[in-house]
């Protein structure tokens, strides 16, 4: 197997390669003067099982184009099988028609990835499970929950923790984490007036005296997460933290989180931390390199990937 890294998250790609005791494939991904993407593979990939690591995070379209052109280059180089390893799958929130004459962009991206040459997709915590059905190739959707469970147990073993879903849509995710930790669940009932703006309405569940842990798949503007944190504190929680898989963190999100009641926001490294994120006193990242490397090895060896969910 060979591992190819594009530019969106080189530290993660290097960590995955180190876990697998393999060097990164010698490739060049650069820009022409007019910002066109150019890819060149400097070693033979004919007949190889190739894994391309690229999160389609901001700048989303640039990173997506890098991935597509790399897939095409590998296909034209006669790679035997090409797996697109996308720790963060951009456009996943556009998984349905939100109104008349609107696109289903996640389906469009799925079509483009397959057309470009992907034979398999390996991703983590898709925003909507039905996106797996948008592809006509195998899709392995990994879960960050085992990483979160291990980290929560290590950091909060003696605390009266309670898992909290910041909205009704995340109840299944929060319930699964709560079952792994054998703890109770609370739910934030909120009303969203418009995109990016939310108003907390009620807290379902008794959070008084509990160390609350909010769980979500994506934090973007941070508004919903911070509102949820304030709500549980107003309802008598001892303290509140958050565990979120993908730290998109646009606009004033980092400042908003820094000034919120959140004692800590724990993210995975599916999206590389910017300087401002790395400097934030209450934001930290945990590595997904071991999880991704084990999944990649399982794919290469044709062994079980679902066993990694346990």
Which residues have a catalytic role annotated?
A: 190
Q: Nearest CA to 260 among 248, 252, 268, 251?
A: 252
**Half-sphere exposure of 6 toward its Cβ, with a 13 Å CA cutoff?**
31
Determine contact, residues 6/28, Cβ cutoff 8 Å. Answer: no
Residue with tokens 């071991």: 290
The encoded tokens of residue 81 equal 């099988």
Residues in the chain: 310
Strand-pairing partners, residue 197, are 194
Residue with tokens 């008349």: 100
**Half-sphere exposure of 252 toward its Cβ, with a 13 Å CA cutoff?**
7
**Which residues 6+ apart lie within 8 Å of 123 measured at CB?**
85, 86, 87, 88, 89, 139, 140, 141, 142
DSSP 99: S
Round to whole Å and give the CA distance between 74 and 39: 10
Round to whole Å and give the CA distance between 189 and 61: 34
The encoded tokens of residue 262 equal 């959140």
Round to whole Å and give the CA distance between 306 and 146: 12
Range list of H helices, the chain: 10-20, 60-76, 105-116, 145-155, 171-181, 223-234, 253-258, 275-279, 289-301
Strand 211-219 and strand 197-204: pairing?
unpaired
Residue with tokens 């022409």: 32
């Amino acid at each position: 197997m060979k591992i190819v890294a594009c530019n969106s998250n080189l530290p993660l790609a290097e960590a995955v390669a180190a876990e697998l005791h393999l060097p990164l494939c010698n490739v060049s991904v650069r820009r022409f003067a007019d910002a066109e993407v150019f890819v060149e593979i400097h070693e033979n990939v004919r007949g190889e099982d190739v894994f391309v690591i690229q999160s389609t995070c901001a700048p989303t379209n640039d990173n997506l184009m890098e991935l597509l052109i790399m897939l095409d280059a590998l296909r034209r180089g006669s790679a035997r099988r090409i797996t697109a390893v996308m720790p963060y799958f951009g456009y996943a929130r556009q998984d349905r028609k939100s109104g008349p004459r609107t696109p289903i962009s996640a389906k469009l991206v799925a079509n483009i990835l397959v057309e470009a040459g992907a034979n398999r997709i390996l991703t983590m915590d898709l925003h909507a499970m039905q996106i797996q059905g948008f592809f006509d190739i195998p899709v392995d959707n990994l879960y960050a929950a085992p990483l979160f469970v291990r980290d929560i147990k290590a950091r909060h073993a003696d605390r009266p923790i309670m898992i909290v879903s910041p909205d009704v849509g995340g109840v299944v995710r929060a319930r699964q984490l709560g079952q792994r930790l054998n703890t109770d669940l609370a739910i934030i009932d909120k009303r969203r007036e418009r995109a990016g703006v939310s108003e907390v309405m009620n807290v379902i569940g008794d959070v008084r005296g509990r160390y609350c842990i909010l769980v979500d798949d994506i934090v973007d503007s941070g508004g919903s997460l911070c509102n949820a944190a304030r709500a549980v504190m107003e309802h008598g929680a001892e303290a509140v933290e958050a565990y979120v898989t993908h730290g998109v963190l646009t606009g004033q999100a980092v400042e908003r989180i820094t000034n919120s009641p959140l004692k800590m926001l724990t993210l995975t490294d599916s999206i590389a931390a910017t300087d401002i994120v790395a400097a934030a006193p209450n934001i930290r990242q945990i590595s997904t390199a071991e999880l991704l490397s084990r999944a990649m090895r399982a794919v290469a060896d044709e062994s079980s990937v679902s066993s990694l969910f346990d």
